[in-house]
Each structure stands twice: as structure tokens, then as C-alpha cells.
Structure 1
């Protein structure tokens, strides 16, 4: 394969709804320090596509999603929606353009005003723009997300379940007729049985409303099932990009393999003693050390490692990994990897 660059996975000549190039997000942390949340991340989103952004807590995936929304604006980089550059726009112009991107947050209950009724929560977006939606419009969008308008119309968030509140959040976003829906851990706070319902609803909504979607999560199984393409992030950097169907069988980056290995598997044929042994020796994204070995100290986004940011936890790390940052290069059809020691 030809050696690529850090943007080798970016596509051209296709119907791209969103193009994010060299995004940098940093936060002040006191005493002259700063958190390097997102460091030069690039990705694009095709019309009708779902891009999954996968990684453990603290990898920068949520910061990247919020920076796309300009909440807050990134330190540097480019965000283009339907060809329009969003960074650097005046606040008034940005508000107009940003209507076409809506965000679904992790905690649906706390993201809704507890004093407002469902009918007002769903209508709020259009009302802010001076257009009061009709009752029929609100009832229609409530029905489209699987809620009975007659039941929830006058209720407040505390009178609804977490799943119902997340459906309200989705309905509220749909009222503005968005092009892109950014879902930031939208099911992580919900019961497992409700998670499947919300994921199915998002799939149906995407098709019905002709949406493109960014789905941010740390749960590999969830991301794999809903996404067309998956971007794996670690400590503010992209380490692998692959079609979701190939993730389990073709993952190459040591970090992606670690995520795959950390997914628990039920084995009812095994007795309790063996199960306890597996739990003691299982690996999690906390480190790669074998049982009995010295634990691996996790790096900090305040002072990320030089070169490859995963090298302090990687069993394949060499001197080159400390001296030279690996750039994304193509290692297969639609498969891109940032690693010096794999995929050659």
C-alpha cells in the first residue's frame, strides 16, 4: 500500500455533508497548563452515512463532537457543513447555519428544562426562531419517535422515564429539520432493554428524515451495530478508521485490539471458579499489563507522550514510536491505520 498522510482517510469527489480538517481543541487547566483534548483530528461524513467515533473516556471524542457544533469553537482547524466554513463566522451567521446540525446528549433528563411541558420542549427550537409550530406538527414528530402525544403532551421531564426523555430530545432536534445529527453517548445512561429501542429509533429516524449521523460512544458493540464507518480515537488522536463490518475481524491497531479484547463474553458452560479466574486475568482499557506484571501508568492529556500517544501502554512500542508520530495510511480497502509496527 502507498504511504499516506494524517488525512489519508479523507474522501474527495463524493457527496460530503461535513468535512472536519485538523481540528484542535484545548482547555486551560490552571498554572499555565492546558488539556490537549483533540489534537489535529480530521474526518468527513457522507450524505446518509453514520460515522461512529469510538474510544474510552477522556479520548476526546465528545470534545470533537462539541467542537464541530462550535460549542465552544475549536482552537484551530476547519469545519465545513455543506461547503460552508463554520469557524470564524459571526455569532448571528453561525446560529443560522448551525440549525442544520443538532446534538443529542448523554443524559436526556438533565438536558431538558424541568419546568417546561413536553409540548413546549419539542416546539422550543422553532419558537426561538420566531416560528410557532402548529399542534399537528408537534404531534407528528412525537408520533415519529414512538410517543403518544395524548399521553405525554402536558407532562414534564420528571414524569417520564429516561427512554421517553431521550425520545423527546430526538423529537426536539427533528423539529429544526437538521442535515446532521450528532449523538454523544445517547444510550449510555439508559437500561439495556431501552438502549436497543433508542438505537432502532435512531436508525429509523435517519432513514425517514434523510439524516447523516455522528455517533459517539465508548461501547464497541453499540458503535459497530449502528455505524457505517468507525473512527477510533485515543488521547486526542485518530489511530484507526475502518468500515464497521470489518472492525472485529480486521482491526490492526493495538489499542483497537485492546478494546475488542475488553468486551465481556458470556460463557454459561463455565463454572464460577473459572469465571472468577477470567475476571482476574481479564484486560480492560485501563492497561495492557499481564496479571502479576507492574501496572501501566496512564498518560495524561495535560502532558501527552511524544510520538505515538499509545506507546506507553503498547507491547509493540519501539524507540521509533517515541520519536516519530505515526500518520494514518491505507492498509486495506477503506481501512486506515496510524501505527509504525502493524499493517506493513
Structure 2
């Protein structure tokens, strides 16, 4: 008889808290109690405005630096609390691709050495012929001609080529999880599409899990299986990407969707709140002193006294769809 026990997620986090000292006894509340799960082969998009804490979540997942509190698990290994040597070894299973590809590459090193950094550190593939073959294969896999780029340095490449080198370097260690921290935001629009297609194809071909962080609604929706919307260090809503336009309920998610051109918007779900112009124009509160209760209440057209007094819990309103809002519809049983 086949076991029906659910498979453990490839990556999970629970109650992550990250705070930074800001002088005069103040603290920046960057991430406050965030949890997530990424299944094997799944892409989770993290969406939100600049300063919402999405990049901090990505860095805390890979322990750069570790969160102030909370738990991160990579498969069956708990990363938080590991000794440095064990953490370094476990972290090889998870690679991060940074926002600025040029700054992420050592300007003094050639492409062939940059791509080989991981195996060089871990002492794998010492045979020169094996090394050259693996480097050339990795470069071809990301759409680069080894004969053209392997001897070049980063300043001799375009931004898109540098990002392809970063992807090749990350993949050479055969990771289980990729964390992409706004990997296309600094690239031209035409190049963005190429890199997104490369990431999507690579994840599907290798069966990788991916956390994709960005502030572009359309980009996150198109590349992700599920989307986690963040605001001021908190999770507002988690929902499937294919139903985002017509199933999103949280006022902040609706505000983000309203920022898209009209032709890209979907129909409004029954009973969902529609933020007015005041919500879009209101100033973002400071993470030094976030609002009490619901952190979005200062921009929300539905805010009441209850929103200021009590923080909304993240609850499931339908399978795979969770929301943190006092005014969300009640839980719906699947048909």
C-alpha cells in the first residue's frame, strides 16, 4: 500500500523576525513574524513595495544574516541554530541570485573562474578537463557562448550577460532551492524577459524550488505558482498566481493590482474591497514605528477601530488562499 503521508516542503520558515538597530534606542522592524512554505518544484513569489521586507526575508532564509528569531528548515535540516561549519555545508544546497549582477561578480576575475567558485571552494572536480567541460556546459545552459565569454571579465559583459553568469555559478553546485532577489529589476525590459524565461526553464528542467522576490506585479504573477504579498514586514495575503486578478481580497493586494494598466486587470471578486485613491496616495508608515494592529490600516479605506486595536491573523478562506484582514470574507468550504 502506498503511503499518503505528505512530503515535507523543500524550504519552510516559521515566525521570522528581523530587526535592525537605528540609534537612540530605536529599531527598524524589517520582518515581523513571517512564515512560508515552498514545495519541491514550486516557485513562490514574494511581492510588495520597496521597504516591505521581502528582500530581508530572502536573505534570512539563506542565513545572510540569520533572523533574530524564528525557524528556517531546508528539507529536513533546521538551518537556524546550526554551528557555522554545518550551516556552511547545508547552505550549499541553496543558492541566491542577487539584484545587481555586476556588483555580485568580482571585477578582477574572469568568467571561467567566477563560474567555478563554488566547486573550487568545495574541492570538487579537480581534473582540469572535467573542470573546463563543466564550465562550458554551465555557460551553454544559460545561453552564453563559452568561446566568447569564458576569458572575459564582468566589465566586458552586458548586464544581462552578467546575470546569466550569476545563474550559471549558482547552478554549478546543483542546488535544491534558488532564491532570486529581484534578479531582473536592474535590466532592460527586453533582457528581463530573457532572464525570466531562462529561470523558468531551468527550474522546470531541474525540478528546483524557487523563491522569486520582486515588486513588479506582472513579473511575479507570470513566473510564480503562488504569490505571498507583504506589507511593512507582515504577510497580507497568500494565493495561487493564476487566480490573483479575480480572487485577491486583501485591500493592499487590490491596490497593487489597481496599479497595473487596465487591460491587465481582472474582474473584481464578489465582496472584495476596492481601495480608493486615498489608499494609493497615503504615505507609507515608518518601519521604525509601525502602526498598531493591522499595519495597512493607515492606508486602508475599510479601517475601523478594531483594525487599530487587534492585529489580524493570517487565516485560510479557501484551500491555498490565506489572508490577514478583519474584513475578509469568512472561510469557504471547498465544493
TM over 0.5: yes
| Distance (Å, rounded) in 2 between the aligned partners of 1:150 and 1:343 | 58
Q: Secondary structure at the match of 2:140?
A: helix
Q: Cα distance, 1:130 vs. partner? A: 1.9
Indicate if the aligned counterparts of 1:337 and 1:343 stay in contact, CA closer than 8 A.
no
Matches within 5 A, 1:78-157: 78-131=71-124, 132=126, 134-157=131-154
Q: Cα distance, 1:176 vs. partner? A: 0.9
1:46 and 2:39 equivalent?
Answer: yes
1:177 and 2:174 equivalent?
Answer: yes
Q: Secondary structure at the match of 1:215?
A: strand
Q: Cα distance, 1:14 vs. partner? A: 3.1
Q: Secondary structure at the match of 1:62?
A: helix
Q: Cα distance, 1:332 vs. partner? A: 1.8
How many equivalent pairs are there?
312
Residue 336 of structure 1 is matched in structure 2 by 322
Residue 297 of structure 1 is matched in structure 2 by 283
Residue 193 of structure 1 is matched in structure 2 by 190
Indicate if the aligned counterparts of 2:110 and 2:153 stay in contact, CA closer than 8 A.
yes
Indicate if the aligned counterparts of 1:288 and 1:313 stay in contact, CA closer than 8 A.
no
Higher relative contact order (CA 8 A, sep 6+): 1
Indicate if the aligned counterparts of 1:118 and 1:157 stay in contact, CA closer than 8 A.
yes
Residue 161 of structure 1 is matched in structure 2 by 158
| Distance (Å, rounded) in 1 between the aligned partners of 2:94 and 2:50 | 24
Which runs of 5 or more structure 2 residues have no equivalent in the other structure?
265-274, 331-335
Q: Cα distance, 1:264 vs. partner? A: 3.1
Cα deviation digits, residues 23-73 of structure 1 (max 9, x gap): 001111111111100000000010000000000000000000000010001
- Over the residues paired in the alignment, what is the CA RMSD in angstroms? 1.7
Q: Secondary structure at the match of 1:108?
A: coil
Q: Cα distance, 1:298 vs. partner? A: 2.2
1:33 and 2:19 equivalent?
Answer: no
Q: Cα distance, 1:129 vs. partner? A: 1.4
Residue 58 of structure 1 is matched in structure 2 by 51
Which runs of structure 1 show a deviation greater than 6 angstroms over 4 or more consecutive aligned residues? none
Indicate if the aligned counterparts of 1:65 and 1:182 stay in contact, CA closer than 8 A.
yes
Indicate if the aligned counterparts of 1:125 and 1:172 stay in contact, CA closer than 8 A.
yes
Give the structure-1-normalised TM-score.
Answer: 0.88
> Cα gap change, 1:233/1:122 in structure 2, threshold over 3 Å: closer, same or farther?
same
Residue 273 of structure 1 is matched in structure 2 by none
Give the structure-2-normalised TM-score.
Answer: 0.90
Which runs of 5 or more structure 1 residues have no equivalent in the other structure?
1-11, 268-284
Residue 230 of structure 2 is matched in structure 1 by 233
Residue 74 of structure 1 is matched in structure 2 by 67
